[in-house]
Structure 1
Amino acid sequence: MRTSRTPSGFTRRAVGGIALATVAVVSLAACGGGSDPLSAGGDGSGDSPESIIVGSANFPESETVANIYTEALRANGFDVTTRFNIGTREAYIPALKDGSIDVIPDYTGNLLQYLDPSSTATSAADVDAALPAALGPELTTTTPAPAEDKDAVVVTEETAQRWNLTSIADLAEHSSEVIFGAPAEFQERPGGLPGLKSKYGLDIAADNFVPIADSGGPATVGALASGQVTAANIFTTSPAIEQNGFVVLEDPQNNFAAQNVVPVIRTTKSSDKLTEVLDAVSAKLTTEGLLSLNDAVSGDAKTEPAAAAKQWVTDQGLDIPVS
């Protein structure tokens, strides 16, 4: 949603195991969150501007935030249908445009780079300024939240100590030894392997890249913790980083752009009321709050995303109309 030269314990059988895990993740994602949005097509939400289809990507944080949008919108009189676990931007951006969904949470920097691969904006201000043109006439956003969840290059503490790593630049001299785990699209996205190579000289050979389709989730975490991969793309608000003692390598060249949570909306479904509700949610969604939500959902408590979202909405006073 993440070989020719193999380190100790990493075999072609291990690669096959990750591939099977990837298939399992994709299969589970296809089963979650209601009907398949990509089979719906057209304007599934009907003619009413207050009838909204909320979607999510295929990882827990996205589903949790999508549930927050759902709860807040329902509290304000919207008739909401949910279609969760759609997949990556390559799946859900077309779903927005064809009317399969109307609203989905995204992240400003990666959204910009997906829509405009030539963009060099990395700061929050520059990314926000560039987004409207990149969105085009079919899509729009409301105000981004203070909450930020950035991509990161993550290694185990043992690897960081062995190679004396503090930043991505330190990893570059070990390029030939690094087995890198990430979603398949990380190979091509500007902020993925191309950016790591151009900014830091971290050159990952095709045979040393392991695609894992859970967007830094349990399969990616398991591969890193077990040593099946040396480094991985995991988001900075993942509870697994602290739980496993992983080390987030510094990104002084800002390869990974600002990643504030933002609702992306099909323009034809946008309205003042929708904007007001989503802005109210975004104003209260902080990075610390996102970490707490992720810990509730992916930590020991294993709270369902819908339940965690409902509690957060209540705690923030967003379970009643905003005006």
Structure 2
Amino acid sequence: MTTLWNTFLDQRMELLKALWEHLQISLTALLIAIVIAIPLAIWATHHKNVAEVLLQITSVLQTIPSLALLGLLIPLVGIGSVPAIIALVIYALLPIFQNTYVGIDEIDPSLEEAADAFGMSRMRKLFKVEIPIALPVIISGIRTALVLIIGTATLAALIGAGGLGNFILLGIDQNDTSLIIIGAVTSALLAIILSALIKFLQTARLRTVILTVGVIVLGFAGVSGYQAVSQPKQNIIIAGKLGSEPDILIHMYKDLIEQDDKSVTITLKPNFGTTSFLFNALKSQSIDIYPEFTGTVLESLVKKSGNTANLSAHETYIKARDALKKQDNLAYLKPMAYQNTFAVVVKRSFAKKYNLKTISDLKPIENELNAGMTLEFINRTDGLKGIKQKYGLDFKVRSMQASLRYEALKRGNINLGDAYSTDSQLKQLDLVMLKDTKHVFPPYQGAPVMSEKLAASHPKIVRALNKLAGKISDEDMQKMNYEVNVQKKSAAKVARQYLVSHGLLRDAK
């Protein structure tokens, strides 16, 4: 409980920000779903055959897995809150449409006849008779939709929309139960509180319901409008991949830019996704800057030109920089000193048992290997594909989330995994990195990548970020990762502490 409370205190400001993002996404999706589903259901009560078709369509839409739906929406509308809201609207349509249709369709026919006998028009009958009678059922559908939306909205973090899902993803990645609990409990409490509010509206008059919805809409519009007006002309979005290291780096970027360029504000998108996801987000201008590694650029992001094996670290950077500019008109700034290369790791006891020192040593025991690796590593030529090709290996492997494969190694559920050379878990779990004698893994030096347009228009940003060029050793980064993953310090504090102690930041703020 002490750890949980300390984590809550340390993350309270981030929690408030995530809660607001979650609330914005959820209520926006709910209001849009209400505007679509209720009028459509009212119209469908007079077209029975069409109503059955619409019920089937909304039912089918709700069966689409949320991750698949988000993946389908990204190429169409990009990343961020827009695809998240669209997906949530789709999931909310069924309960609202169904309850509105059933609530009106099952009104006692004698009441309908009485309204007609009084000479009521269709609209007057709708608002004076049908909706007031069906309102408890309609509100019940909205309540169901809201709970569904709030729970599903945690997945919005996977596509850079923020929300409480950020805490859950970060907790999983860092194997931090406190973060997972904070994210999950806050999401559950939000659902309970809003559900109780909607339950109150079930017994309220139609005028009260409309007034409440109006106040919510105006409140959100006012806050959003204030935020838009109060922000400077340009907001720079810096994103990072999953994990503590990218999180540390983007906080360094933020501190350095804010110190040297007062004309912009910085929005951070930590734990934003995998390599291809961020690269496509950068090209589509959904984000402005993210840290990328030289070897990753050459192996995964640009078209290969010539042999890249056995290049020095500097040659790899030059080749990556030139290729990014030529292919996508992107600027690749100067790299840091450390190299965060891929690695294949085993427990020390397993290495001693089979005398494992290099990846080639796995060949005689490949039938005994039970590997767990990240999906990205499995599908990269500078990952498992390259290992199988150059070393002639073929062993059982299953995809795992980054932190889970470390837990699986620790528990003995797997005996082989992938890693990054600066991961704190290597020291923490006493893992052995097998030498890559056939050079599957090229040099990996991290550096900021952005559009040439942004680099040209904001030279202060370029100068600020280039202060990290040649800085941060392998030991520095492994130490900082350890502080975040094991000692549970925030990435922001660890990043700022490094910058201040190395004279890159004037004060600790």
Contact 2:387 2:440 in 1 (8 A): yes
> What secondary structure is seen at the aligned counterpart in 1 of 2:420?
coil
Match of 1:93 in 2: 279
Q: Give the whole-Å Cα distance in 2 for the aligned partners of 1:181 and 1:222.
A: 10
Root-mean-square deviation over aligned CA pairs: 2.7
Tell me by how many angstroms 1:27 deviates: 5.0
| CA deviation after TM superposition for structure 1 residue 221, in Å | 0.8
Alpha-carbon contact 2:159-2:272 (below 8 Å) kept = no
Q: After superposition, what is the alpha-carbon deviation per residue over 1:68-127, rounded to whole angstroms, capped at 9, x for unaligned?
A: 111111111242111111110121001101111111112110122111364642431331
Match of 1:69 among 253, 267, 291: 253
Instruction: State the partner residue of 1:11.
Output: none
Answer yes or no: is 1:310 the counterpart of 2:501: no
C-alpha change, 1:33 and 1:250, in structure 2 (3 Å) is farther
Correspondence for 2:405 among 217, 220, 224 = 220
User: What does 1:1-323 align with in structure 2 at a 5 Å threshold?
Assistant: 30=158, 34=162, 51-77=235-261, 78-116=264-302, 118=304, 120-122=307-309, 123=311, 124-135=313-324, 136-204=327-395, 208-214=396-402, 218-271=403-456, 272-299=459-486, 301-320=487-506
Letter in structure 2 aligned against 1:70: K
State the Cα distance separating 1:32 from its structure 2 match.
8.2
Distance 1:220 1:27 in 2: 21
Following the alignment from structure 1 to structure 2, what is the Cα–Cα distance between the partners of residues 108 and 31? 24
Residues 259-299 of structure 1 deviation map (CA, whole Å, 9 limit, x = unaligned)? 11111112221133222111102332222221221111112
Q: Secondary structure at 1:318's aligned position in 2?
A: coil
CA distance in 1, matches of 2:275, 2:299: 11
For residue 274 of structure 1, give the secondary structure of its aligned residue in structure 2: helix
8 Å CA contact 1:117, 1:190 repeated in 2: no
Residue matched to 1:40: none
Kindly, what percent of the aligned residue pairs are identical? 27
Unaligned runs of 5+ in 2: 1-153, 166-227
Work out whether residues 154 and 232 of structure 1, in 8 Å CA contact, stay in contact via their aligned partners in 2: yes
Aligned residue type for 1:163: Y
Partner Cα separation in structure 1 for residue 371 and residue 322 of structure 2 = 33
TM-score by length of 1: 0.79
Q: Partners of 1:209 and 1:117 in 2: how far apart? A: 28
Shift, 1:320, TM fit: 3.7
Q: Distance in 1 between matches of 2:364 and 2:383?
A: 18
| Distance in 2 separating the partners of 1:155 and 1:117 | 33
- The answer to whether the Cα contact below 8 Å between 2:257 and 2:460 also exists between their aligned partners in 1 is no
Letter of the 1:223 counterpart: A
Measured in 1, the distance between the counterparts of 2:347 and 2:464 equals: 41
Task: Tell me, in whole angstroms, the C-alpha distance in 2 between the residues paired with 1:273 and 1:112.
Answer: 28
Contact 1:156 1:224 in 2 (8 A): yes
Question: For residues 31 and 132 of structure 1, do their structure 2 counterparts lie closer, same or farther at Cα, with a shift above 3 Å needed?
Answer: closer
Instruction: Tell me the amino acid that sits aligned with residue 244 of structure 1.
Output: L
Q: Secondary structure at the match of 2:331?
A: strand
Q: Normalising by structure 2, what TM-score?
A: 0.52
CA distance 1:164–1:33, shift in 2 (3 Å): farther
User: What is the alpha-carbon distance in structure 2 between the residues aligned to residue 145 and residue 163 of structure 1?
Assistant: 36
Contact 1:34 1:82 in 2 (8 A): no
Q: Residues 229-283 of structure 1, C-alpha deviation per residue, up to 9 Å, x if partnerless?
A: 1211111111111111111101122111101111111222113322211110233
Does the aligned pair in 1 maintain the 2:346–2:432 contact within 8 Å?
A: yes
Separation (CA, whole Å) in 1 of partners of 2:371 and 2:302: 25
Task: Indicate if the aligned counterparts of 2:236 and 2:265 stay in contact, CA closer than 8 A.
Answer: yes
Query: How far did 1:176 drift?
Result: 2.2
Contact 2:156 2:162 (C-alpha < 8 Å) held by counterparts: no
Larger relative contact order (C-alpha < 8 A, sep ≥ 6)? Answer: 1
Structure 1 counterpart of 2:183: none
- CA deviations on 1:164-217 (whole Å, 9 max, x unpaired) are 10000001222222122211132221111221122222223xxx2111132xxx
State whether residues 293 and 445 of structure 2, in contact with CA within 8 Å, keep that contact through their aligned partners in structure 1: yes
Q: 1:47 to 1:115 in 2, by over 3 A?
A: farther
- Higher-helix-fraction structure: 2
Distance 1:54 1:143, change over 3 A: same
Secondary structure (helix, strand or coil) at the match of 1:82 reads: strand
Q: Which moved more, 1:190-199 or 1:312-321?
A: 312-321
- What is the number of residues matched between the two proteins? 281
CA distance in 2, matches of 1:281, 1:118: 28
Larger Rg: 2
Q: What code does the residue aligned with 1:72 have?
A: L
**Structure 2 Cα separation of the partners of residues 28 and 240 of structure 1:** 28
